[in-house]
Amino acid sequence: MNRRRAILGACGIAVGAALLAGCGVPTTGVVDVGAPATGLPQPPPASALVVVYLVADGHLAAVWRKAPGAADPAAWAMRLLFAGPSPEEARKHLTTHLPRPPGTVEVQVDRSSMTVRLPSGVAAPDGLGMQQVACTAAAFRMPVPTAAPGASGGASGAASGSASRAAQARSRRVTVTGTGWSRDATCTSPSLAAPPAG
């Protein structure tokens, strides 16, 4: 009887080992399979629409421009504003009352004010030029995301409420400084235009 149990036990172990080997349980030690997974790849960053104020027939005109979504919208808006109208905007008779600075325009923002520092040698803007800066500053906190490639949605849905945010931002004090001069302004423009569809 003991001999029979021993034979059955040995057969059971052999069958169990055969089953485990057949199921893919490795008989070797730890197998290196490379670095651990780090998550799903991120989609490309969305761009954002920022508004800059140019001049048409002596009045401010809101123009929407694309800026990288990861970038600081205030700095991008001011950089785009001081670059002046694009060739297409110039054909539509949009102009600017701002100088084109030879260097970088620096932007410093806090909760209630913005300071724009122009490079050395740039003259102070006139009244309409100051309004361009002040109204662009009032609008910069409202970047409207556009859809990343392959994403649904777009600028129109995200634009809801931008007029009320613009009204809140109009109280922001804007100071433009240069070598030996400093001027303050607040935006007195009508409400923002709707962003382009798509």
Question: For residue 156, what pLDDT is reported?
Answer: 42
Question: For residue 2, what pLDDT is reported?
Answer: 62
Cα 37 from Cα 48, distance rounded (Å): 31
CA-CA-CA-CA torsion sign (79, 84, 86, 87): negative
Cα 21 from Cα 19, distance rounded (Å): 5
128 and 58 in contact (C-beta within 8 Å)? Answer: yes
Q: Spell out the domain ranges in the chain.
A: 47-147+158-185
Per residue in 171-192, pLDDT (tens digit) is: 668 899 999 999 998 887 655 5
**113-117 and 106-109 strand pairing:** antiparallel
Question: For residue 32, what pLDDT is reported?
Answer: 52
Question: For residue 150, what pLDDT is reported?
Answer: 37
Question: For residue 126, what pLDDT is reported?
Answer: 94
Residue closest to 66 by CA, chosen among 164, 143, 136: 143
All residues at 6 or more sequence positions from 195 whose CB lies less than 8 Å from its CB, including other chains: 49, 51, 64, 144, 155, 156, 159, 162
- Claim: this prediction has a pTM higher than 0.85: no
φ/ψ of 10, rounded to 5, equals: -65, -40
The stretches in the chain having pLDDT less than 70 are: 1-47, 69-71, 140-172, 189-198
Question: For residue 187, what pLDDT is reported?
Answer: 86
All residues at 6 or more sequence positions from 13 whose CB lies less than 8 Å from its CB, including other chains: none
- Which residue type occupies 178? G
